[in-house]
Each structure stands twice: as C-alpha cells, then as structure tokens.
Amino acid sequence: MTGEIGLYGDVLEIGGLKEKLAAAVRSNIKIVVIPEANRKDLVNIPDELKDQLEIKTISKASELLEIIFDKNYN
C-alpha cells in the first residue's frame, strides 16, 4: 500500500506507478487498486504488466471499502 488520503477521503495521485505494478506482478498479486488520478499513467505501462493484473481505480477511500467488502458505503 502506498499513497495518501485527503481529509475528506480523496485518494491522491501516486508516483512510480510502473515500478509498483511490476512489484505486484513479481509478488503474484492479481488485483491492484490505484488512484483515479493515475489512470492517465496507464498508457505508459507495458501491456505485459497490465495483462497480468486487474487494475481498479478509485477517487474516494469509501470506494476501496466497496471493492474489499463488495458493499456500498456511500
């Protein structure tokens, strides 16, 4: 886990996305959650990495709870 959450639950952009996704693949992680603000960076990620991961984007921390527990927390 990396990154920051603002006072109102906003998930802030991270750096080093390519390296973090490569580490996830090396660690046999299948699903990763990244900030919505980093969606634009996915064009710079090699398809070999993206094809091995299910990448979900979120903009609010409550969306992570929905992913983890498969419930609506809004």
pLDDT greater than 70 at residue 8: yes
Contact 50, 26 (CB under 8 A): no
Distance from C-alpha of 65 to C-alpha of 15, rounded to nearest angstrom: 23
Cα Dmax for the chain: 36
In the chain, domain spans: 17-67
pLDDT digits (tens, 9 = 90+) for 41-71: 999 999 999 999 999 999 999 999 888 887 6
Q: How much is the pLDDT for 35? A: 97
Q: What is the pLDDT confidence band of residue 3, given thresholds at 50, 70 and 90?
A: confident
Q: What is the pLDDT confidence band of residue 28, given thresholds at 50, 70 and 90?
A: very high
Identify the three-state secondary structure at position 50.
helix
A 10 A CB-CB count for 70 gives: 7
pLDDT greater than 80 at residue 23: yes
